[in-house]
Amino acid sequence: MKKLRLYLENHPKVPKKIILGYIIFAGCFIFPFANGRSPFDFDKAYLAIVSYGIIGLGFAGIYGINKEKFVYIASFILTGLGMVCRYFLEYGEVSNTVNFTLFNIISYLLVTPILTVISYQFIIKYLMKKN
């Protein structure tokens, strides 16, 4: 663990790339919250909250305080990029017509950046300022 910490301290761009890549990954594989075949349930809610909570934690640890605007914009753009990757991953399949409805796209692009900012603010307010 000490070697990992030393490596990450010596290479500060690596954690940034990991957290930004994880946003793309989450945008690709957690989307959509629900569709005609699979309704929204506790498992999907838990997965979204945990994933975007970890992203908020990563932003708080890497970028520090007063970065809400950056957190929102970065999570919005990279989530959208992840959704585009998902679209091309399933291009030509019936699942694209089920998943990529206007409601699913807009709700996912609205909820996930807001959830990221809320988790970021919670971590900054309650966990980082106490230390």
Contacts of 19 (CB under 8 A, 6+ apart): 55, 58, 59, 62
Q: What pLDDT, on the 0 to 100 scale, is given for residue 36? A: 72
- Please check the confidence at residue 4 and state whether its pLDDT lies above 90: no
Contacts of 28 (CB under 8 A, 6+ apart): 82, 83, 85, 86, 89
Domain boundaries, the chain: 14-29+39-128
Q: What is the number of other CB atoms lying within 10 angstroms of the CB of residue 32?
A: 20
Q: How far apart are CA 31 and CA 25, in angstroms?
A: 10
Q: What pLDDT, on the 0 to 100 scale, is given for residue 37? A: 76
Whole-structure pTM value: 0.86
pLDDT tens digit string along 103-113?
999 999 999 99
DSSP 77: H
Q: What pLDDT, on the 0 to 100 scale, is given for residue 79? A: 95
